[in-house]
A and B are shown apart, each in its own frame.
Chain A
């Protein structure tokens, strides 16, 4: 039986640019993606690898597409996905992870994640099924609560109301 893709989406109260940075920059991934980071900044049509804080390999693959969100058009980050953190998962062939980052309203971004090409990777299919839910929620929480700028602005407006 063929294995369906995993498809998730989440709305995040942040700009598409902030979400793009959270997905593609190690300073951000380190803070919500099981502390993993890119060995080198990802580049389109180049291989990439992520590692855990102690330097052990986590994921490797190719960046198939890397188009940041710009001028209202959605951002696309497409990577092949070969798991290295588990010897059993490592035996399975690479799958494909597609991120789409789209502005939903002012200050609100829709993130859609499709993890497909999992037909030959039943263990990976099972492993990432709940994993992505946690990652996406964790990213949302970080962007919405850990980023100083929107909170400062919010606090200022509350202070204005209280002082008026």
Chain B
């Protein structure tokens, strides 16, 4: 699958967006806490939506003892956005330019070092 497709699929559903909104306003909620806020849905329904969000890497879980908490992970959204805004291209270029500069500096230093009489 094309990179990012899971993100679009996950975000296409209003309930899943509402789940992300809930985690944005309070991160690190348990399944029980989330179920209390989505009473129109079964526990199984909430779990299913969470698993789609987890596949897209938009929700990550962390265990605290026996408690499993859910966290909003906005990194994939940033990546999707960067695909179409100039920021990505700018950074891409910046990284390569920085690398070229480093190589050039290293070569210059090497040349100078060799030019020095031992």
Contacts and interface: CB of A to CB of B under 8 A. Distances in A.
A148 interface: yes
A112 B76 CA distance: 13
Interface residues of A, number: 25
A9 B75 contact: yes
B82 A137 contact: yes
A7 B92 contact: no
A142 B57 contact: no
Chain A interface mostly helix, strand, loop or mixed?
A: helix
B38 interface: no
Most chain B CB inside 10 Å of its own CB: which residue of A9, A11, A140: A9
25 contacts: A4-B27, A5-B27, A6-B27, A7-B60, A7-B62, A7-B73, A8-B60, A8-B75, A9-B57, A9-B60, A10-B76, A11-B57, A32-B95, A112-B60, A134-B78, A136-B75, A138-B91, A141-B91, A141-B92, A141-B95, A142-B91, A142-B95, A145-B95, A146-B92, A146-B96
Interface of B: 26-28, 57, 60, 62, 69, 71, 73-76, 78-79, 82, 88, 91-92, 95-96, 98-99, 102
